[in-house]
A and B are shown apart, each in its own frame.
Chain A
């Protein structure tokens, strides 16, 4: 149905897509898998005719049912695309918050598609009707679509603004918009990446049902191999702008031909074995949390803005022993971050007790782009914790030369060369930044570290390396760690014990194997089943 032949797209002198050929059959779900920068999104944009002016097509062409949409050396046919977009091909984006217009109601935005393409849903031979009647028909059609995509209260959603809807609901609205005219091709660019695991599964199920019912072709772009495996009929693996391997999903995953594909598949966290060897866990408790409740005020502390208190965490009790990794799993908004802030003493509005037997526990953040000061060099960043410690405790003060040596040593220990010492964060890749971030947290030997989704922002192969690094350092330094993640497989690989949280409560805590073999709570079972 869609045929891409020998496509090369460049931005300036940089080729983002190199000689890509692929073919999507009728009713097929075709996956394109690759790490960030592999050219998968540019390929999708080229098919949708959404490449911007800076992109130049150097070779190849794209055809849909034999009609040429895009060809190297030919002017782009904007009129043709305007006719196709929305009615015969449509797109679901990653971030439903920014791809919906925040100032218009959800219903009106979906209706817009119907208004722009009357030929696609109304019989052109039918007599002209009054505007009111047409409006009523559109409204009915939208409401019908809303219930078809599993929105429970279509009327309410119809009249809601995007910010009044949850992430999952917004994505359902986006999908309704994409499929309402029953297009032949739906391009989904990381449609579930911004969503929680349970919601993610519902959306995947929905897309699959739509595909079965409407028989449209789907191009499914993702970095997540597990996802591709679950939904796609065929998969293409992309790397550095090229298609490395294409095949039926089952065959490709069972017997990958290319080394890169094999690496990619092996890097995906699974419940097979853990990272690192046997651990020495002492009996000594490094952190003891008793009956901890954490509150936040929903206004600020400003005097003219009143505001009530909300409970983010209620009655949490747990402990971490020396050298132990406690995995904390739960969805966004379950109180994971509030809990970790309270443990670090950054939130004072708490009840209960937090006792830790260590100096200044540290934190490793999720986003390596915002956790390093952009105006300082790596060397400066690594020395700053030592300076701060020296100022607080004169017995720990170090000379300039000692500090620099310690910083260089730490940089080496996180697997980076000394040449990075004088670079700024903007000159590093995401994985390198996360390494520096880890080095900065561990350089003072803090004893207790909270890692808040430390690998969620990274590509799978990078994820694996960072997890291994953390594990090695943790064993070497006898570090205790509260490891937070939404990915239960990552938790399995890293943790000794596991704690499951939902809506501010700890549902269960147990040894790793115990939780995985014999979960007590329904919610835990659900989490396990869905990953």
Chain B
């Protein structure tokens, strides 16, 4: 065969960026250079230096430490949202796609209804009803993001349910559950992972957006979104305050996007 000329740079760069972000976030759970909550009037608005890599904020807290914590919070929420909506997508999408009929029709109209509203707005409404807080944020974003996963999984299952090898599994007498999750599922995973990457990015952006609006993660806990929101008032005085969480968001989203694209380009 012909030697593969193009290396998969997307995968390499994406993997490096994502790993770096995850390492920093995980480290932030156990150790940060400074306390993320200790305030100090003497060290307000220090510019970035070796002592404070990203400077300090309006309460004299170390921004680098808070970004580490914030990345942890944000990626954790993003992951849980994707876990929730992704599993719902696989379960419901597989069932409706494979079985078709009335259930399929009903679920599809329901997802249409959810898709009909802007997702952030819908999540906002749900949080207003459920009350704010992390669990509710995760739950409402999970519900809002589920339809896109359901649709993707469903269309893949529809594509494969009449494949010859699936007809054959039916003829052998393989049970329905096993056909769904042992015979069909492995064949849709590459498509699914790509949509998980996209979903994860959307979840991170949504979390940041909600926290920015003050209905996500509450201070003094750090999240990239609420840091941005705090920083807004000091944009001219301390531009590094807004820049740090902003760059962190861009870093994560870009890394994951490249990673997802890399997965998509894996041949076969």
A: residues with CB less than 8 A from B are: 11-14, 300-304, 344, 346, 360-363, 365, 367, 370-376, 384-385, 388-389, 391-392, 426, 440-441, 444
Contact = CB atoms under 8 A, between A and B. Distances in A.
Interface string B91-111: 000000000111011000000
Nearest to A372: B165
Contacts of A361: 171
Given A375-B186, A384-B174, A426-B268, A303 B167 contact: no
Contacts of B104: 302
B173 A392 contact: yes
Contact of B2 (A14, A344, A371, A375): A14
Interface in B226-268: 268
B100 A302 contact: yes
B172 interface: yes
Contacts of B171: 344, 346, 360-363
B172 A362 contact: yes
A388 B174 CA distance: 5
Nearest to A303: B105
B16 interface: no
A391 B170 CA distance: 13
B172 A370 contact: no
A344 B173 CA distance: 12
24 contacts: A14-B1, A301-B100, A301-B101, A302-B100, A302-B104, A303-B105, A360-B173, A362-B168, A362-B171, A363-B168, A370-B165, A371-B164, A372-B165, A373-B165, A373-B169, A373-B183, A373-B187, A388-B172, A388-B174, A388-B178, A391-B173, A391-B175, A426-B268, A440-B168
Contacts of A388: 169, 172-175, 178
B163 interface: yes
A441 B172 CA distance: 8
Contacts of A362: 168, 171-172
Nearest to B104: A302
B5 to A, nearest CB: 9
Contacts of B175: 388, 391
Contacts of B170: 346
Interface in B137-181: 163-165, 167-175, 178
A12 B186 CA distance: 32
Given A375-B186, A388-B178, 13 more contacts: A11-B2, A13-B2, A14-B1, A301-B100, A304-B105, A346-B170, A360-B171, A365-B164, A372-B165, A373-B187, A375-B187, A384-B174, A444-B172
Nearest to A363: B171
Interface size class of chain B, counting residues whose CB lies under 8 Å from the partner chain: 20 to 34
Contacts of A14: 1-2
A13 B5 CA distance: 12
Contacts of B173: 360, 388-389, 391-392
Contacts of B167: 346, 363, 365
Contacts of A303: 102, 105
Given A12-B2, A371-B164, A374-B187, A384 B105 contact: no
A441 B2 CA distance: 35
B167 to A, nearest CB: 7
A441 B167 CA distance: 12
B86 to A, nearest CB: 19
Nearest to A365: B164
A14 B105 CA distance: 50
Interface in B167-226: 167-175, 178, 183, 186-187
Nearest to B164: A371
Contacts of B174: 384, 388
Nearest to A369: B164
Contacts of B3: 12-13
B172 A365 contact: no
Contacts of A346: 167, 170-171
Nearest to A387: B174
Contact of A300 (B2, B100, B172): B100
A444 B171 CA distance: 12
A251 to B, nearest CB: 39
A5 to B, nearest CB: 27
A384 B172 contact: yes
**A-B interface, 10 closest residue pairs, ranked by CB to CB distance from nearest:** A12-B2, A371-B164, A375-B186, A388-B172, A365-B164, A373-B165, A388-B174, A370-B164, A385-B172, A388-B173
B165 A371 contact: yes
A370 B167 CA distance: 11
B186 A376 contact: yes
A463 B119 CA distance: 56
B73 to A, nearest CB: 36
B201 to A, nearest CB: 27
A384 B169 contact: yes
B182 to A, nearest CB: 9
A32 to B, nearest CB: 25
Task: Give the most central of B2, B167, B171, B187: most A CB within 10 Å.
Answer: B171
B2 A360 contact: no
Given A12-B2, A301-B100, A388-B173, A371 B186 contact: no
Contacts of A371: 164-165, 168
Interface string B1-23: 11100000000000000000000
A373 B182 CA distance: 10
A365 B168 contact: yes
Nearest to B183: A373
Residue in A346, A373, A388 with the greatest tally of chain B CB atoms within 10 Å: A373
A130 to B, nearest CB: 52
Nearest to A375: B186
A363 B165 CA distance: 10
A22 to B, nearest CB: 27
A302 B103 CA distance: 10
Contacts of B100: 300-302
Contacts of B105: 302-304
A361 B169 CA distance: 12
Contacts of B101: 301-302
A378 to B, nearest CB: 13
Interface in B3-50: 3
A391 B179 CA distance: 14
Nearest to B187: A375
A375 B268 CA distance: 10
